[in-house]
């Protein structure tokens, strides 16, 4: 699986042939993805089809460019 953070756009999720994934709502119910191997998730918050992207970012002026970086290790628990 590969997740791409698109400049000024969505999160694009791609899976290879033979791979699978589930997208769940807050109650744990799975979205029916109709066999899709590529989906795009909204980052701008304006999509009428949340959590999926409907290209609203092009109309609302969403502006987010992300550069890959290393995260620090998680803080110890406890």
Three-state DSSP class for residue 57: helix
Question: Do the beta carbons of residue 7 and residue 56 sit within 8 Å?
Answer: no
| Total domains present in the chain | 1
Give yes or no for residue 78 having a pLDDT over 90. no
CATH number, domain with residue 58: 3.40.5
Establish if 71 belongs to a structural domain. Answer: no
- Please report which confidence band the pLDDT of residue 70 belongs to, taking 50, 70 and 90 as the band edges: very high
Q: What is the pLDDT of residues 10-68, one digit of tens each?
A: 999 999 999 989 999 999 999 999 999 999 999 999 999 999 999 999 999 999 999 99
Where b means 16+ CB within 10 Å and e means fewer, 11-35 reads eebeeeeeeeeeeeeeeeeeeebee
Q: Which domain holds residue 29?
A: 1-65
Q: Which residues contact 50 (CB under 8 A, 6 or more apart)?
A: 42
């Amino acid at each position: 699986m590969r997740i791409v953070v698109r400049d000024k756009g969505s999160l694009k999720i791609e899976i290879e042939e033979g791979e699978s994934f589930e997208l769940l709502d807050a109650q744990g119910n799975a979205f029916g993805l109709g066999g899709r191997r590529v989906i795009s998730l909204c980052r701008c918050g304006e999509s009428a089809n949340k959590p999926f992207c409907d290209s609203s970012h092009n109309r609302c002026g969403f502006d987010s460019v992300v550069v890959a970086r290393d995260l620090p290790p998680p803080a110890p628990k406890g």
